[in-house]
Amino acid sequence: MENNLIISKGKVIAIVGNLVEAVADGPLIQNGICFFLHNGKEIMGEVIKTQGNKAYAQVFETTRGFRTGIEVFFSGHMLEVSLGPGMLTRNYDGLQNDLDKMEGMFLEPGARTFPLDKESVWPFTPLAETGQKVIAGDWLGEVPEYHVQHKIMAPFKLEGEYKLSWIAEKGEHKITDIVARLTNDEGEEIEVNMIQTWPVKLPITVYREKRRPGTLFETGIRVIDTMNPILEGGTGFIPGPFGSGKTVLQHALAKQAAADVVIIAACGERANEVVEIFTEFPHLDDPRTGRKLVERTVIIANTSNMPVAAREASVYTAMTIAEYYRAMGLKTLLLADSTSRWAQALREMSNRMEELPGPDAFPMDLSAIIANYYSRAGFTVQNNGKSGSITFIGTVSPAGGNLLEPVTEATKKVARCFFALSQNRADSKRYPAIDPIESYSKYLEYDEYISFAKQEIDENWIEKIDFVKNFMISGQEINEQINILGDDGVPVEYHETFWKAELIDFAILQQDAFDDIDCNTPPDRQRYMMDKVIKIVQTDFGFDDFNRVRNFFKRVINLFKQMNYSEFNSEKFSAYENELDQIINLKTVEV
Which residues contact ligand ADP by CB under 6 A?
240, 242-248, 431-432, 512-514
Select from 1, 5, 11, 14 the one that contacts another protein (CB under 8 A).
14
**Rounded-to-integer distance, Cα 406 and Cα 485, Å:** 39
Q: Are 297 and 264 in contact (CB under 8 A)?
A: yes
Q: Does residue number 247 form part of the binding site for Mg ion (CB under 5 A)? A: yes
Q: Are 307 and 268 in contact (CB under 8 A)?
A: no
Select from 90, 151, 246, 532 the one that contacts Mg ion (CB under 5 A).
246
Q: Does residue number 435 form part of the binding site for another protein (CB under 8 A)? A: no
Select from 9, 523, 555, 577 the one that contacts another protein (CB under 8 A).
555
Pick what 557 binds: another protein, ligand ADP, Mg ion, none; C-beta below 5 to 8 Å, kind-dependent. Answer: another protein
Which residue stretch of 116-124, 198-206, 435-443, 482-490 sits at the interface with another protein (rule: CB under 8 A)? 482-490
Strand 80-83 relative to strand 196-199, pairing: antiparallel
Which residue stretch of 40-48, 141-149, 355-363, 410-418 sits at the interface with another protein (rule: CB under 8 A)? 355-363
Which residue stretch of 57-65, 188-196, 438-446, 463-471 sits at the interface with another protein (rule: CB under 8 A)? 57-65
Which residue stretch of 152-160, 165-173, 268-276, 377-385 sits at the interface with another protein (rule: CB under 8 A)? 268-276
Pick from 378, 419, 425, 373: which is nearest to 396 by CA?
A: 419
The nearer residue to ligand ADP, 274 or 584, going by C-beta atoms, is 274
Q: Does residue number 498 form part of the binding site for another protein (CB under 8 A)? A: no
Strand 54-59 relative to strand 91-92, pairing: unpaired
Site string for another protein, 215-254 (x = CB under 8 A): --------------------------xxx-----------
**Rounded-to-integer distance, Cα 275 and Cα 299, Å:** 11
Strand ranges in 328-432 using DSSP code E only, listed in sequence order: 331-337, 378-382, 387-396, 417-418
Q: Are 261 and 321 in contact (CB under 8 A)?
A: no
Q: Are 301 and 317 in contact (CB under 8 A)?
A: no
Cα 572 versus chain centre, distance = 36
Cα 312 versus chain centre, distance = 15
Query: CA dist 331 to 67, 116, 322, 389, Å?
Result: 48, 22, 9, 5
Pick what 432 binds: ligand ADP, Mg ion, another protein, none; C-beta below 5 to 8 Å, kind-dependent. Answer: ligand ADP
Q: Does residue number 561 form part of the binding site for another protein (CB under 8 A)? A: yes
The nearer residue to ligand ADP, 246 or 341, going by C-beta atoms, is 246
The nearer residue to Mg ion, 63 or 395, going by C-beta atoms, is 395
**Rounded-to-integer distance, Cα 540 and Cα 586, Å:** 13
Pick what 550 binds: ligand ADP, another protein, Mg ion, none; C-beta below 5 to 8 Å, kind-dependent. Answer: another protein
Q: Does residue number 567 form part of the binding site for another protein (CB under 8 A)? A: no
Q: Does residue number 339 form part of the binding site for another protein (CB under 8 A)? A: no
- Closest separation between CB of residue 503 and another protein, Å? 13
Site string for another protein, 97-136 (x = CB under 8 A): --xx-x-xxxxxx---------------------------
DSSP 1-43: --GGGEEEEEEEEEEETTEEEEEESS---TTEEEEEEETTEEE
The nearer residue to ligand ADP, 102 or 513, going by C-beta atoms, is 513
Question: What would you report as the CA-atom Rg of the chain, rounded to the nearest whole angstrom?
Answer: 27
Q: How many CB atoms lie within 10 A of CB 418?
A: 21
Query: CA dist 211 to 208, 222, 255, 359, 388, Å?
Result: 10, 26, 26, 34, 10
DSSP 549-568: HHHHHHHHHHHHHHHHHS-T
Count of residues of this chain found to bind another protein when the rule CB under 8 A is applied: 77
The nearer residue to ligand ADP, 106 or 514, going by C-beta atoms, is 514
**Rounded-to-integer distance, Cα 580 and Cα 80, Å:** 59
Pick what 240 binds: ligand ADP, another protein, Mg ion, none; C-beta below 5 to 8 Å, kind-dependent. Answer: ligand ADP
- Closest separation between CB of residue 417 and ligand ADP, Å? 17
**Rounded-to-integer distance, Cα 60 and Cα 66, Å:** 13
Q: Are 195 and 116 in contact (CB under 8 A)?
A: yes
SS3 516: coil
Q: Does residue number 551 form part of the binding site for another protein (CB under 8 A)? A: yes
Q: Does residue number 569 form part of the binding site for another protein (CB under 8 A)? A: no
Please state the φ and ψ torsions of residue 459, each to the nearest 5 degrees: -50, -40
- Closest separation between CB of residue 21 and ligand ADP, Å? 37
Pick what 290 binds: another protein, Mg ion, ligand ADP, none; C-beta below 5 to 8 Å, kind-dependent. Answer: none
Q: Does residue number 276 form part of the binding site for another protein (CB under 8 A)? A: yes
**Rounded-to-integer distance, Cα 576 and Cα 517, Å:** 15
Beta bridge partners of 124: 171
- Closest separation between CB of residue 172 and another protein, Å? 29
Q: Does residue number 178 form part of the binding site for another protein (CB under 8 A)? A: no
Pick what 155 binds: another protein, ligand ADP, Mg ion, none; C-beta below 5 to 8 Å, kind-dependent. Answer: none
Backbone region of residue 117 per phi and psi (left: phi > 0; alpha: psi in -120 to 50; beta: other values): beta
- Closest separation between CB of residue 242 and ligand ADP, Å? 4
Q: Does residue number 68 form part of the binding site for another protein (CB under 8 A)? A: yes
Q: Can you give the binding site for Mg ion, defined by CB under 5 A?
A: 246-247
